[in-house]
Amino acid sequence: MAPVPHKPLLATVLGQRQERPPMWIMRQAGRYLPEYRETRTKAANFLELCYTPELAVEVTLQPLRRFDLDAAILFSDILVIPDALGQSVRFATGEGPLLEPLDEKAIDRLDGARALEHLAPVFETLRRLRAALPPEKTLIGFCGAPWTVATYMLGGRGSADQWTARRFALEHPKAFDRLIDVLVKTSIDYLAAQFEAGADVVQLFESWALNLDDTSFARQVIEPNRRIVEGLRQRVPNAPVIGFPRGAAGNLRHFAETTGVNALGIDFSTPIDFVNAHLPPDLPVQGNLDPLRLVVGGEAMESQARAILSAFKNRPHIFNLGHGIVPETPIGHVERLIEIVKAE
Active-site residue list: 27, 31, 40, 77, 152
| C-alpha–C-alpha distance, residues 319 and 344, integer Å | 11
Q: Which amino acid is at 245?
A: P
Helix, strand and coil percent figures for the chain, each rounded to 5: 50, 10, 35
Q: Which amino acid is at 225?
A: N
What contacts 5, CB < 8 A, 6 or more positions away? 135, 136
Nearest in space to 17 (alpha carbons), one of 314, 293, 337, 322: 314
| C-alpha–C-alpha distance, residues 69 and 62, integer Å | 11
Terminal Cα distance for the chain, rounded: 34
Whether omega for the bond prior to residue 288 falls within 30 degrees of 0, making it cis, is yes
The answer to whether residues 217 and 245 touch, using CB atoms and an 8 Å cutoff, is no
- Phi and psi (nearest 5°) for 17? -65, 135
Sign of torsion, CA 331 337 341 344?
A: positive
Buried b (16+ CB within 10 A) or exposed e, 220-242: bbbbbbbbbbebbbeebeebbbb
| C-alpha–C-alpha distance, residues 176 and 171, integer Å | 9
| C-alpha–C-alpha distance, residues 205 and 243, integer Å | 7
